[in-house]
Amino acid sequence: METSKKTIIVFSGDFDKVTAAFVIANGAAAMDDEVTMFFTFWGLNALRKDAHVPTSGKSTVQKMFGAMMPRGPKKLGLSQMNFAGVGPKLMAKAMRDENVMPLTELIATAREQGVKFIACTMSMDVMGLHKEELLDGIEYAGVASYLGEADEANVNLFI
């Protein structure tokens, strides 16, 4: 059986949307599909390390972005009913109650299954994110690389 290819643009930094992207990515990878996830703008927050990583050479606006954006998947808010930050905790509990993997495990499982993570370098530049602030072992590229992957894919999603 020929391997299919799937690409997912992760534009949103909302917990529920990022979770959906990883559920789809893991499902496709489990079906032996080749999966590429391209993280851009707010979606990059899902790849941020939890701890603050000191960096230099940022503009004032980039420093503000870094301070205000969530660091990592544990800090992402919900797209609806965020309830001043309580919403993601309620959603995580509901997921546990239904035996759904937590987002951090979905990310780890995707990596174990060989899902390719690409961080958009243009978005990183605009938002002032440096490689050392993101997860280790991911790729960095521009939109042309994503489009090359998408040209070969039979499914392209924008989340």
Is pLDDT above 60 for 1?
no
What are the structure tokens assigned to 63, written together? 């420093």
Cβ 9 vs Cβ 40: under 8 Å: yes
State pLDDT tens for residues 115-140. Answer: 999 999 999 999 999 999 999 999 99
State pLDDT tens for residues 71-104. Answer: 999 999 999 988 888 888 899 899 999 999 999 9
Q: Walk me through the domains of the chain, giving residue ranges and CATH numbers.
A: 5-158 (3.40.1260.10)
State pLDDT tens for residues 4-59. Answer: 999 999 999 999 999 999 999 999 999 999 999 999 999 999 999 998 888 888 99
Instruction: Tell the residue number behind the tokens 């301070």, with chain if given.
Output: 67
In whole angstroms, give the CA distance from residue 91 to residue 58. 34
Cβ 41 vs Cβ 10: under 8 Å: no
